[in-house]
Structure 1
């Protein structure tokens, strides 16, 4: 998913926000309502509001503004002041968030397929300890992890960013005031020092955001340091305008000292900037980087204007009771909406329909109202803050409970995997003639019940080739050329396996053959990168160029030390540069041909394996589907015409018309009579929505043997 908003600290409409002039700012509550509406509508109808994820940036600005105004009004002078500040954040944020995490973990256990327990358990634990944004940043650059089903708690990433901000920002403010004291600047005289210091932090974060979004946009999205500038922008505004900062007097409003009409125009301009971003931006927009400046600037304009609640001002509409109520409960709306969106389809066993979405919307508002009244407000009363150790003790206890739930969920997943491992070992050693791919040769093989398939869905997720455990992959930005050796290491016959993950999935079959035919396997594998001269669309041009460089290095290595046989396979997962995916077939074919031509001319023997079916085109993750349909495994099957892709690498190989350049199509080991089963001979075929399990791939080895030996000229 691309962007969810976490809601900052806020007060009820009956109380002033911390650090403000003592009056209720209806525009801030209204701005919260707008921001949470953007996020909610984006998640329910992503194709209708493609840039609704910018609500996160609006919330970040509000958080930075209010928290900085509070800190500047009463700068922390020591450890106790910091502890008091943090204790308020604990009381304000943890009770509701931990409640939602606990409920989500329990609902996942009850309704989600077993295959999702491990990932959700990890993220619940990370969310409870406020580092889930870093976990998601790591997963976002992991090709296989990126294919995981959406977690019902991944929206906590932005709350983690804010908590990390709340931890560090008060220390920065305290240090700046200490520095001002050293240079003998106190009261209003401290203002230039503080503003300059905060400005340095904001500038550094913005620079890092622009750079990292350019070179690694996937991880940049969740990175704390690429987001600090957005909160800091609100903080700088607070330093410039807050009435109580630096000992200034409280005035009629906190906005710029401009006429009401000008402030009204500025406020409308701010909302217009946010609206443009919400409508124009898409998941393809590089973000955060420079593009985040538009919604950030919009939020800053609204806060700076502090438009009057009269005339044509937007605050007149935002000040109405329903909008103010939505702004007041926006934190709980944010917490509840995403778990419902993810879990409801698992309960109903179908994608969300219009009525489902409306019911989720209604349920979110009801749960948010109840949580606000009975959880948020209850723990914000003074008695929960005294003595100072109390909120910390309760916070640690609550986090411990949620972490324990996550560990229990993870332990259940681990136990399921261990049970599946034992079951798999028994089946592999049984000598069953109907086991795996061999079942497609017979009509007397009885269907295997869902509870007896191997590897069991929970175990299938990790049933990958040894190339993963050995770290044999080159990843973005493709700066090197990793190789690994398998099979009979001292054999005089070498088979080179080249390609991306759809080549690496053939390693188990080649290992079976290597043991029998006594040859050595050398792998040249790169995640998502193909052995081609065609540049394809990556997140950055540098990554695309890096992929081309990897292909050139592999080609040269094979020319310098030719193998006895070059085995290739690849999935074309990315469009050719400048073309739509569906229009890229010919460009891919040309790129493969140009890669192979020098090798074929040099006499290198080539065997290209046709790409395997692609279940993600209709079903998604096969283990997830099977776990949810153990009583009807055929629900996870697909049609060959939908799953079997065209293969330009095969076309390129066949274009040479030489005996040294051969191809083999083993689609008949994956599909039969127009149907591609998810389970064949009692074996789960795929460990996600694309890649073949190591167990099933090994059963295909006998059917690859003839083509391999022919290509070797044995």
Structure 2
């Protein structure tokens, strides 16, 4: 995305290369079309990879033309990058924060502020990588600043690459290496590129979600442009037709990747080599504006789009996201409006923000550059902190409202109890939508201070304990995230009775001895191994009661879709039979309704947007409630101490499921119960648990 000017070959009057500017235009067009009409160019995301090659080429060309030899040289280089990149990016971040506050529901403010802060400090790609494997975050709406991940990769490259060139240059002055200083530089650049490419191939196969965002898997793409700059320094094609042929071939490779790739392509890895090679060939061709291909690339609209491509990339995604908040699903006219407004804002940004900061009187003063850059970043960070402070105040008020609501005998699940005569609640739902999105059980690190989940890539064994270590009764809660959301209900019982609860939980991996299809075979095997180990560990430790529940969110490996349920049922039977043979008491809870199955991926978002019409956050029960084959598996075991229970009548009405029940927000996303609602289910879970625990351990009922 860097807009730095390049070598003067095949150039315009202002010194920019027409072929490179055209390549920028092509790259940003691919990204735009992919985001506006994703089904038309399913691999349009490769436009980012084309940008990476361009940036690596131009930056390395500058470094080779003005070789850094001292720390001052590095400071000058970084100052030029600050003047070129920060004014526009910080302007867009400030505008996006303000627009999000005005247009988006409060459930989006926190995530947008966190990512905007990370974007201003250029580490948002690592933040996104850390959350990319979070199953609970899978359905989260993308923030309006998520696209800054690629800019973060570039900025990190701009920090490290000049240092590498400086070090290699100094190394080339030592002893016998002086005779081969250019070879030392070239070899160093190539080694870094090869190491990054090898890591990208490995990490994309091992952990593709994280691999997409991290800098280490992308450096080779920028380095490819850098190596090209090193190889062609001072060189020009003497055969224009050969150069044009290279450019055409390169463009074809980019188009093939854009058309053939899709969201299922393992990326970056080896797949990124196609658009990267295409971009390298286009630049290597050095097509002159007078050649046949060059004349096409040099037409004024293409050059103009290349000139404003950085600003186009910055503006297009916030407009897409925020217009979607206002109008819902983007239609054809909405997409055209996004395109038009993006181009207008890009033109204005180029003229009134980018150009003045590159040529202002202060732009040559090193201290002014760093002071203004740091000040701009501080402004964005301050705005994000203010947004966080407001959310904290709202959360404090929400906690007060929640404390008052829990005294109501018709709050939450109690309003659906048989014989309940409850009036519809009149106050605002609790917890408040922004708080509801974080209203999770203590099994989550951000709530309980510890991460109690086995997760990809390795599904390592993780056990958390709640309650006294010397308790007479030990209850084990196990399964995937749809077991984890029952922890608050069990804690209500455990705290009044002195039980200890141990959890063996996994993210997405169901506790069923069946191969489950994850994004890599290694992840599938790791899940299957976790199931075997956990089943055996629980059987060996012999707790007083095992409570389990699971959501089937991935298909079984090697079976037809119509046989998926039977495969999972067989896997459940294997787990339950092992526990039955160990003499354990087991309670298998029927899986809970999931709004996401009906297309409602965030109940808190829906509630925030429809406080005056909560019926919009409901659906027929048949759309949300899953069939759960664990019931059949329990019946097949035929052991009176292995039972199933269905509490879904306390989550949904006879005909419809609601996002808010008895004044309580039921879900913190599109699938998982809020901790608040789960606690309201405790009195109804108590008799089922008591019936399985031997006397006198069961203690008194809760209600």
TM-score range normalised by the length of the shorter chain: over 0.9
* Aligned: 1:492 with 2:484: no
* Aligned: 1:283 with 2:283: no
Q: What is aligned with 1:333?
A: 312
Q: What is aligned with 2:698?
A: none
RMSD: 2.2
- 2: CA distance between counterparts of 1:663 and 1:18? 73
TM-score, structure 1 length as denominator? 0.92
Map of 1:90-109 to 2, 5 A cutoff? 90-109=82-101
Q: What is aligned with 1:144?
A: 136
Q: What is aligned with 2:628?
A: 647
* Aligned: 1:71 with 2:63: yes
* Aligned: 1:222 with 2:213: yes
1:537 aligned residue (517, 521, 542):
517
TM-score, structure 2 length as denominator? 0.94
Q: Are the structure 2 counterparts of residues 593 and 191 from structure 1 closer, same or farther at C-alpha, using a change threshold of 3 Å?
A: same
- Secondary structure (helix, strand or coil) at the match of 1:240 reads helix
- 1: CA distance between counterparts of 2:644 and 2:116? 47
* Aligned: 1:273 with 2:250: no
Q: What is aligned with 1:421?
A: 399
Structure 2: any 5+ residue segments left out of the alignment? Answer: 696-703
1:686 aligned residue (630, 647, 667):
667
1:437 aligned residue (393, 401, 413):
413
Map of 1:98-177 to 2, 5 A cutoff? 98-177=90-169
- Secondary structure (helix, strand or coil) at the match of 2:515 reads coil
Q: CA deviation at 1:312?
A: 4.4
1:9 aligned residue (3, 6, 9):
3
Q: Are the structure 2 counterparts of residues 185 and 564 from structure 1 closer, same or farther at C-alpha, using a change threshold of 3 Å?
A: closer
Q: Are the structure 2 counterparts of residues 18 and 419 from structure 1 closer, same or farther at C-alpha, using a change threshold of 3 Å?
A: farther
2:299 aligned residue (320, 326, 344):
320
Q: What is aligned with 2:329?
A: 351
- Secondary structure (helix, strand or coil) at the match of 1:607 reads strand
Q: CA deviation at 1:261?
A: 2.4
- Secondary structure (helix, strand or coil) at the match of 1:687 reads coil
CA contact (8 A) 1:20 1:66 kept: no
* Aligned: 1:210 with 2:201: yes
1:34 aligned residue (10, 26, 39):
26
Q: CA deviation at 1:513?
A: 2.4
Q: What is aligned with 1:704?
A: 685
* Aligned: 1:508 with 2:488: yes
Q: Cα deviation per residue 1:470-528 (whole Å; 9 max; x = unaligned)? A: 43222223453222233464343332211011001111111222345554322211111
Q: Are the structure 2 counterparts of residues 18 and 398 from structure 1 closer, same or farther at C-alpha, using a change threshold of 3 Å?
A: farther
CA contact (8 A) 1:20 1:242 kept: no
Structure 1: any 5+ residue segments left out of the alignment? Answer: 1-6, 244-250
Q: Are the structure 2 counterparts of residues 401 and 517 from structure 1 closer, same or farther at C-alpha, using a change threshold of 3 Å?
A: closer
How many positions carry a matched residue from both structures? 689
1:456 aligned residue (432, 443, 449):
432
CA contact (8 A) 1:61 1:299 kept: yes
- Secondary structure (helix, strand or coil) at the match of 1:673 reads coil
Q: What is aligned with 1:247?
A: none
Q: Cα deviation per residue 1:602-629 (whole Å; 9 max; x = unaligned)? A: 3322211111111122211111111111
Map of 1:179-190 to 2, 5 A cutoff? 179-183=171-175, 190=181
Q: What is aligned with 1:193?
A: 184
Q: What is aligned with 2:565?
A: 585
Q: Are the structure 2 counterparts of residues 81 and 20 from structure 1 closer, same or farther at C-alpha, using a change threshold of 3 Å?
A: farther
- 1: CA distance between counterparts of 2:421 and 2:586? 37
Q: Are the structure 2 counterparts of residues 336 and 482 from structure 1 closer, same or farther at C-alpha, using a change threshold of 3 Å?
A: same
